[in-house]
């Protein structure tokens, strides 16, 4: 059932997009004769042609090359940010759900506060203060996007806590750590995987928004957002400079969303309704 | 019934709770801002060779930056509850409250308009998708919703600017009024502003439609499975009556909460929309404040963002209780 192409068309489409993007990012140097920061003032603002399939920018850099290297940044940010937020979300969710009481109350109130935060405001302020850099972006996105997952894992843990196999584990003398890590954690992996996939899409969008505002990846290093920012200034005479990076973001985010939603349908039929 | 003792108690508890969250938000923001390296006085002093340590210390003392962070927080918070947000550190030194209030109407107006528009458009999409679950029309809408989810707002904005603004010259692409605004009649002015706000509203509406329609679809699907829908059908009511009278009313309830929860996202999104379309709103003000490290202005913006969010949540909560007779205001035991 899992591998029926016709039934899971969207899953395969998503997977294909995700894998293609990963491939392009990993093998970027072998796929283009140019480097992302090499300027060529004889070739400023070339329209797409055989030599430069996506044209060149205002200082003659090849857009296709910059997009390939930009993919590296975007995917890295997505993965690391999601890694951080998953780690925080899962840990707090497990603790909150399993121990309950005062700890649960405190953690859930923190979640409430975070949900009321205009988090993009906070991200913007922190990035501007700490100097914009890829590392800071990863950390800040990671630290502001764990709330949804914490709630999910908590709910899952709560429903797991009273099951017979947990009682059995307790009776056979398993400690709290063992029960949490060996018996409960694996059962929460499905929602974690789904939320990580969707979270990657979200993180990529936030990173490109930040770079578009000039607070993300700093030039001359390429990122999809800052190529778009370059494109904004020459919108009238070089529309391709705005078209392609946006398309890259769009397709990548679409791929992760499709993959995440299809995984949710397959892994957890109960969640399908939501 | 609504204003019984229980209801009063409920709202007192709710208000206390809101105050707690509000304090939490200000605490986190304040400490994050102030623990970050760098100081707002750097901007004024670092390029000036005549500035020495003594002067810098004097400047810091003037702004109260020489005290420990927690003391600064208490000072700031005790002034905040008297609606004193302090003065901006920028050249004009105007009160933060004035600066925010003159920007607030545009941002709130823009977001409320696009939220309502999105709701109106998402409603039929969600209903049709749910009623025809799995059919072609549902798949088509689902596909479009996915496209909407993945569409970066700033890219859509650039594409629309390129196509409608530059290539066809139909719509203005930046600012809120045209150059000849002063000479226009009253209706001419209204039309001018509407023309300028068309693209920004369109962009933020598209972003909101996807989420709202998807959520309505699943909420509708859940309701359609309930026993009372079966009862309604068994009574021989028409399909139309069952869907619009029995199902839709219940399916709309969770959407109220969703709209309340979407406020922080909208506020954050306005930074981008306003910077692309050069609109003088709260988002642009915040961006400028962040760039200049204008602490009082940044904190003022964060506080207003939090207040708007909490107000949105409270309003949603209140509407929900008003709309759903199953939830009484008696405190749950």
Name the token pair of A197.
Answer: 């996939």
Query: What's the DSSP call for residue A53?
Result: T
End-to-end CA distance of chain B: 18
Name the token pair of B165.
Answer: 């603004």
The residue among B146, B322, B176, B140 whose CA lies nearest residue B249 is B322
Distance from CA of A171 to the nearest CA of B (A): 33
ipTM: 0.85
Contact A120 B36 (CB under 8 A): no
- CB contacts, 8 Å: A239 with chain B: 162
Q: What is the average pLDDT across B134-138?
A: 88
Name the pTM for this structure. Answer: 0.86
Contact A129 B293 (CB under 8 A): yes
Residue of A nearest to B292 (CA): A128
Residue of A nearest to B300 (CA): A121
- CB contacts, 8 Å: B100 with chain A: none
CB atoms under 10 Å from CB of B78, counted, come to 10
Distance from CA of A168 to the nearest CA of B (A): 32
Residue of B nearest to A205 (CA): B152
Q: Which tens digit of pLDDT belongs to each residue from A130-159?
A: 888 889 899 999 998 999 899 999 988 988
Contact B25 A117 (CB under 8 A): yes
Mutate one of B37, B129, B149, B155 to test the A interface: name it (highest A CB count within 10 A).
B155
Q: Which tens digit of pLDDT belongs to each residue from B243-294?
A: 888 888 888 888 888 888 888 888 888 889 998 888 999 999 999 888 888 8
Cα–Cα distance, A243 to B162 (Å, whole number): 10
- CB contacts, 8 Å: B221 with chain A: 273
Mutate one of A70, A121, A126, A262 to test the B interface: name it (highest B CB count within 10 A).
A121
Residue B332 pLDDT class (50, 70, 90 cuts): very low
Residue B38: which of A121, A129, A249 has the nearest Cβ? A129
| Domain positions in chain B | 2-80, 98-323
Average pLDDT taken over every residue of chain B: 82
| Domain positions in chain A | 2-273
- CB contacts, 8 Å: A258 with chain B: 146
Distance from CA of A237 to the nearest CA of B (A): 10
Residue B291: which of A122, A126, A128 has the nearest Cβ? A128
* Phi, then psi, of B331 in degrees rounded to 5: -65, 130
Distance from CA of A248 to the nearest CA of B (A): 10
Range list of H helices, chain A: 9-26, 28-31, 63-99, 101-116, 119-130, 134-144, 147-161, 164-171, 176-178, 189-212, 224-233, 240-267
pLDDT at A274: 38
Q: Which tens digit of pLDDT belongs to each residue from B101-127?
A: 999 899 999 999 998 999 999 999 999
Chain centre distance of CA A32: 26
End-to-end CA distance of chain A: 22
- As its CATH architecture, domain A2-273 has Orthogonal Bundle (1.10)
Judge whether A134 and A203 are in contact, CB under 8 Å. Answer: no
- CB contacts, 8 Å: B28 with chain A: 113, 117, 122
Query: Which CATH number fits the domain B98-323, given the four candidates 3.90.550.10, 1.10.3720.10, 3.40.1410.10, 3.40.50.2300?
Result: 1.10.3720.10
């Amino acid at each position: 059932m899992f591998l029926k192409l016709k039934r899971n068309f969207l899953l395969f489409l998503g997977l294909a997009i995700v894998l293609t993007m990963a491939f392009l990012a990993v093998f970027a140097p072998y796929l283009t004769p140019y480097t992302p920061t090499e300027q060529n003032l004889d070739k400023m603002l070339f329209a797409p042609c055989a030599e430069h399939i996506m044209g060149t920018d205002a200082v003659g850099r090849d857009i296709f090359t910059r997009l390939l290297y930009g993919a590296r940044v975007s995917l890295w940010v997505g993965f690391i940010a999601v890694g951080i937020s998953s780690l925080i979300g899962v840990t707090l969710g497990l603790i909150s759900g399993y121990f309950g009481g005062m700890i649960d109350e405190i953690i859930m109130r923190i979640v409430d506060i975070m949900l009321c935060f205009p988090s993009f405001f906070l991200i913007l302020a922190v990035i501007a203060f700490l100097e914009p850099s890829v590392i800071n972006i990863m950390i800040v996105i990671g630290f502001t996007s764990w709330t949804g997952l914490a709630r999910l894992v908590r709910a899952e843990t709560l429903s797991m806590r009273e099951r017979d196999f947990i009682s059995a584990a307790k009776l056979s003398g398993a400690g709290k750590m063992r029960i949490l890590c060996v018996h409960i954690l694996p059962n929460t992996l499905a929602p974690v995987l789904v939320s990580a996939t969707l979270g990657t899409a979200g993180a990529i969008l936030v990173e490109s928004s930040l770079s578009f505002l000039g607070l993300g990846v700093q030039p001359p290093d390429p990122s999809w957002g800052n190529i778009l920012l370059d494109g904004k200034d020459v919108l009238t005479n070089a529309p391709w400079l705005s078209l392609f990076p946006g398309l890259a973001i769009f397709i990548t985010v679409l791929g992760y969303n499709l993959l995440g939603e299809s995984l949710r349908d397959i892994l957890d039929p109960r969640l399908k309704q939501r | 019934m609504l204003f019984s003792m229980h209801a009063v108690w409920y709202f007192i508890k709710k208000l206390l709770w809101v105050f707690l969250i509000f304090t939490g938000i200000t605490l986190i923001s304040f400490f994050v801002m102030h623990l970050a390296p760098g100081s707002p006085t750097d901007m004024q002093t670092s390029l000036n060779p005549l500035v020495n340590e003594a002067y810098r210390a004097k400047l810091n003392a003037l702004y109260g930056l020489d005290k420990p962070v927690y003391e600064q927080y208490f000072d700031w918070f005790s002034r905040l509850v008297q609606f004193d947000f302090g003065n901006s550190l920028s050249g004009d030194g105007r009160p933060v409250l004035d600066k925010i209030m003159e920007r607030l109407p545009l941002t709130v107006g823009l977001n409320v308009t696009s939220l309502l528009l999105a709701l109106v458009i998402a409603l039929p999409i969600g209903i049709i998708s749910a009623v025809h679950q799995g059919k072609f029309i549902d798949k088509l809408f689902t596909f479009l919703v996915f496209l909407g989810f993945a569409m970066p707002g700033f890219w859509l904005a650039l594409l629309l600017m390129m196509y409608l603004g530059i290539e066809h010259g139909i719509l203005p692409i930046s600012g809120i009024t045209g150059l000849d605004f002063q000479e226009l009649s009253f209706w001419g002015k209204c039309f001018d502003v509407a023309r300028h706000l068309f693209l920004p509203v369109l962009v933020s509406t598209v972003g909101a439609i996807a989420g709202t329609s998807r959520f309505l679809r699943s909420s509708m699907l859940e309701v359609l499975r309930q026993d009372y829908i079966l009862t309604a059908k068994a009574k021989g009511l028409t399909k139309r009556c069952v869907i619009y009278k029995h199902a839709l009313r219940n399916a709309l309830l969770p959407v109220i909460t969703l709209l309340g929860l979407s406020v922080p996202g909208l506020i954050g999104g306005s930074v981008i929309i306003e910077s692309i379309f050069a609109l003088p709103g709260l988002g642009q003000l915040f961006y400028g404040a962040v760039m200049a490290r204008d602490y009082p202005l940044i904190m003022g913006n964060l506080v207003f963002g939090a207040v708007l969010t909490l107000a949105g949540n409270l309003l949603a909560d209140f509407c929900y209780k008003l709309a759903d007779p199953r939830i009484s205001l008696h405190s749950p035991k």
